[in-house]
């Protein structure tokens, strides 16, 4: 596995002007962020966090005991627990990333973010030996958009993308309001798993992979636990710490943040609105604030808290609370409260001594709206480190692109690349070849016929008859060559479709579409280690990675949970 090419983000679709400036021209956007993402910026973030976090109200010991309990349940490796012990020390800081709890780790970029956090923590530990850095994955499990996380995309046996979904009892509900982390897997998971297995090519890695899938995703386990366990199984003992923010003990620690939001609204909203107005002079804001940036889970459904007629109410319900009543609920049952996208980063960095957050393009963009919110809650935004962006080029794809001289960025204009490709295939003009061939044969017959006529005119006539028959037979062959060329066009066109489906499926970058299971099933568990060793986290370009087929299968995991 190796990096084949680095492509500027500006050459690709899906990267905002704000993100491109953040990565390549930070000075243009520095006023929206606290620190840059280079070593100097991260160091400044460390020194700022050391002073504020260690002198704050959050106990490192308490947080680490909660994380220890959680990670035992997630079957984390020894290195994760060692890192949790390090986190108790005042000179240890977290490199945080996170994602919604998608099926089987969700889209490929979830794994990339985790690998980036692990690698950045290692790099910073070497760069600044006076500190320690540990990677933390924030499990976004309060979100209730189940239909966004309940499915995965893979490349099936026929070489085309397939979407496979998990639905409780196999039925889709009209509305989903339950936090996804609380959804308990039922026996339909067996149908999901079998469908997935039947859809993939069978390899020497298939049985081990699906053993781990069945071990993680099984009836009676909630989606949050299944997600974290499967992540641990495929990554191995990397030291990654998982943090479940839906934990009641975590929510107790967050009560001061929730209290402030309820006591001061709509101030957080106004801060974001003002920053967004400044941002809009050149860029497109990512998120819209709410008057109150909190949800409340009522009867297992998550509802936005709003103010109506001087009472707190839950959107899409008739439920209302007096102020004292809601605050009493916050103190007695904090686990029912959860932040929205604006307050979530504040909660994350209130809990953890975050030196850097590894985020994708959308996250980097929406953090530009939050700097003043952090200040309002008495904190500074950490350094936001752009995650690596990649496309994996399998052998058949790479060979096709090289054969026809197609560059990667040309694949984003399907009409243009189709014309170019078929033009290359049709450079050989069958009609012209047969016309020229026939003309040359006729010319030769005429020239040499003049000489042969001097010898025997009767014999020459017999030769002319055979010549005409030969020309006629050649004419019969022409449509067969035309037909063959058309088939070649059709075959090449199908191959082009297959290539585009592999690297730009549904007009989306591969990393935002496919699931890691497809690659692990095909290339084995060493694939992730190879990917870790290949990605260059400090090169902020889209990295085209040539995939090697030479992988080895490690020993089977044991049967202990």
Its sign, for the CA torsion 95, 99, 101, 105, is negative
Contact 343, 287 (CB under 8 A): no
* Helical segments of 9-107, H only: 17-24, 39-54, 60-73, 78-87
Whole-angstrom Cα distance, residue 425 to residue 405? 12
Q: What is the pLDDT of residue 56?
A: 79
Burial 164-175 (b: 16+ CB within 10 A, else e): bebbbeeeeeee
The three-class DSSP label of residue 97 is strand
* Helical segments of 128-222, H only: 146-149, 188-199, 206-216
Whole-angstrom Cα distance, residue 327 to residue 332? 9
pLDDT in tens, 495-522: 888 888 999 998 899 999 999 999 999 9
State the DSSP code for 102.
-
Q: What is the pLDDT of residue 430?
A: 62
> Which residues in the chain show pLDDT less than 70?
415, 419, 422-431, 479-491, 548-561
pTM, rounded to two decimals: 0.87
pLDDT in tens, 162-197: 999 999 999 998 889 999 999 999 999 999 999 999
Whole-angstrom Cα distance, residue 444 to residue 428? 24
CA-wise closest residue to 346 among 271, 448, 422, 440: 271
Q: What is the pLDDT of residue 78?
A: 97
Residue for token pair 């004419």: 475
């Amino acid at each position: 596995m190796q990096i084949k090419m680095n492509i500027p983000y500006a050459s690709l679709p899906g990267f905002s002007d704000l993100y491109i400036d953040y990565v390549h021209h930070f000075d243009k956007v520095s006023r929206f962020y606290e620190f840059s993402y280079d070593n100097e910026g991260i160091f400044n973030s460390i020194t700022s966090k050391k002073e504020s976090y260690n002198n704050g109200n959050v106990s490192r010991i308490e947080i680490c005991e909660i994380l220890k309990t959680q990670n035992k349940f997630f079957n984390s490796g020894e290195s994760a627990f060692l890192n949790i012990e390090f986190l108790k020390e005042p000179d240890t800081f977290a490199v945080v990333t996170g994602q919604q709890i998608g099926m089987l780790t969700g889209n490929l970029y979830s794994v990339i973010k985790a690998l980036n956090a692990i690698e950045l923590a290692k790099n910073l530990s070497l760069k600044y030996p006076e500190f320690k850095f540990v990677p933390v994955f924030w499990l976004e499990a309060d979100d209730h958009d189940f239909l966004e996380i309940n499915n995965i995309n893979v490349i099936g046996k026929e070489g085309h993308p397939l979407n496979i979904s998990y639905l409780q009892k196999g039925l889709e509900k009209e509305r989903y309001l339950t936090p996804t982390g609380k959804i308990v897997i039922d026996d339909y998971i067996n149908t999901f798993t079998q469908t997935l297995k039947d859809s993939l090519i069978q390899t020497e890695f298939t049985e081990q992979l699906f053993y781990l899938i069945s071990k993680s995703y099984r009836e009676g386990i909630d989606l949050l636990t299944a997600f974290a366990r499967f992540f641990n199984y495929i990554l191995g003992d990397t030291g990654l710490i998982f943090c479940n923010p839906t934990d009641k003990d975590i929510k107790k620690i967050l009560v001061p943040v929730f209290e402030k939001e309820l006591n001061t609204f709509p101030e957080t909203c106004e801060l974001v609105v003002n920053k967004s107005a400044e941002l809009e002079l050149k860029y497109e804001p990512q998120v819209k604030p709410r008057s109150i940036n909190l949800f409340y889970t009522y009867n297992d459904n998550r509802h936005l808290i709003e103010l109506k007629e001087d009472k707190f109410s839950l959107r899409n319900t008739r439920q209302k609370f007096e102020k004292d009543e809601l605050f009493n609920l916050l103190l007695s049952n904090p686990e029912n409260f959860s932040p929205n996208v604006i307050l979530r980063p504040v909660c994350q960095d209130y809990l953890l001594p975050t030196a850097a957050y590894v985020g994708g393009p959308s996250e980097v963009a929406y953090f530009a709206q939050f700097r003043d919110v952090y200040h309002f809650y008495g904190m500074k935004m950490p350094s936001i480190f752009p995650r690596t962006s990649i496309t994996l080029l399998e052998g058949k794809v790479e060979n096709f692109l090289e054969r026809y001289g197609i560059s990667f960025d040309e694949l984003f204009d399907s009409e243009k690349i189709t014309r170019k490709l078929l033009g290359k295939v049709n450079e050989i003009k069958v009609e012209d070849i047969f016309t020229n061939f026939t003309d040359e044969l006729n010319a030769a017959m005429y020239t040499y016929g003049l000489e042969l006529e001097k010898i025997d005119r009767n014999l020459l006539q017999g030769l002319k008859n055979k010549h005409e028959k030969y020309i006629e037979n050649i004419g019969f062959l022409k449509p067969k060559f035309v037909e063959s060329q058309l088939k070649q066009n059709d075959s090449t066109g199908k191959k082009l479709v297959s290539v585009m489906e592999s690297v730009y499926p549904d007009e989306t970058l591969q990393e935002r579409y496919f699931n890691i299971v497809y690659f692990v099933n095909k290339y084995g568990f060493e694939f992730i280690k190879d990917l870790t060793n290949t990605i260059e986290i400090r090169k902020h370009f889209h990295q085209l990675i040539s995939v090697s087929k030479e992988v080895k299968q490690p020993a089977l995991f044991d049967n202990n949970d």
